[in-house]
Amino acid sequence: MGKRLFFGLAVALMLVAASELLLPVVMSNAVNQGLMSLTGSNQVMAKLTNSPALLMLGGKFDSIQIKAEHAKIDKFVFSEMSIALTNAQLDMGKLISQRVVDFKSVDGVDIIAVVSQDELAQYLNQTVKGVKNAAVVITPDKVKASSTLAIGGVVNVAVSLEGRIVSDGQIIKFVTDRFLVNNMSTGNIGGSLLTEIPLVDVNKLPFHVNVRDVVMENGKVTLYLDNHSR
C-alpha cells in the first residue's frame, strides 16, 4: 500500500512538473495564433505566466507579454508594438475552439507602439483624399510631410505640411503648424482636411487605454499608452 501511495504521489508530482514546463508553451502558441488575427500581424510573440501553471487552464494569467511587428490597429500600421498585461482573464472557450483571443478582464495595461516615417507616409497616401506620393520626415522638433495634392481631380499642386503628432488621450492625430503650397507658406489654407489629420483611435484596441505620452524622434514616433485603473 505504501509503495502504491508513493508511486501515485511520484506520478502526480511529475504531472505537475510537466504542466509547469509545457502549459506555458502550449498556451503561448494558442494565444500567438489568436493575436495574429487581432493585430493583423504574422510576427507575434506572446509569453504567458502564472503560478501554478495549472491555473492557466481557467484562463487566468499573472502576466502576458506581447511583441508584434507591423501590427495594424484600424487602418494604421505600427512597425513595433510591445504590450504588457497584468492579471488578465481570457475566454478559454473561444481560445481553444476558435483560436480567438478575447480579454474578459485586465487589471493593468502598458503599451509601447512605434510608427516609422515610411508607415506614416503610407497612411497619408491611403486615407487622405487627394494626397499622393507623400514623403514624411520625422525629427524631435517636427513632422514634415510633402506630397502632391489633387484639387478637384484636375489640378495637382506640391504641398508640404509641418506639424506635430499629438493626442487628446484617445485620438492620436497630426496637427499642422505650417502649410506650404509650391514652397510658399499659406497659413492653414489647406482647410480642416489637412489642418488636423486623425491617425489612430485607441478605442479600437481590445482593452481600454489612455495615451500617456507621444515622443517624436529621428525617423519615428513612439507612443506610450497605459491603464492602471484597477
Note the helical H segments in 50-140. 92-98, 117-127
Comparing 80 with 128, which gets the higher pLDDT? 80
What per-residue confidence (pLDDT) applies to 84?
94
* Distance (Å) of CA 208 to CA 63, 195, 201: 17, 28, 11
Set of cell numbers at residue 138: 520625422
What per-residue confidence (pLDDT) applies to 10?
45
* Distance (Å) of CA 67 to CA 2, 39, 44, 171, 199: 50, 11, 6, 22, 21
User: Nearest 5°: phi and psi at 121?
Assistant: -65, -40
Q: How far does Cα 156 stand from its chain's mean position?
A: 35
DSSP state of 61: E
**Nearest CA-CA partner of 174 in 127, 224, 107:** 127
What per-residue confidence (pLDDT) applies to 212?
93
Q: Residue 202 in 3-state DSSP?
A: helix
What per-residue confidence (pLDDT) applies to 190?
46
What per-residue confidence (pLDDT) applies to 110?
96
**Nearest CA-CA partner of 105 in 130, 121, 93, 87:** 87
Comparing 155 with 111, which gets the higher pLDDT? 111
Place of cell 503650397: 181
Angle at 104 between CA 40 and CA 227, to 5 degrees: 75
pLDDT at 153 over 80: no
Place of cell 493593468: 108
Q: How much is the pTM? A: 0.82
Query: pLDDT of 84-100, one tens digit each?
Result: 999 999 998 888 888 88
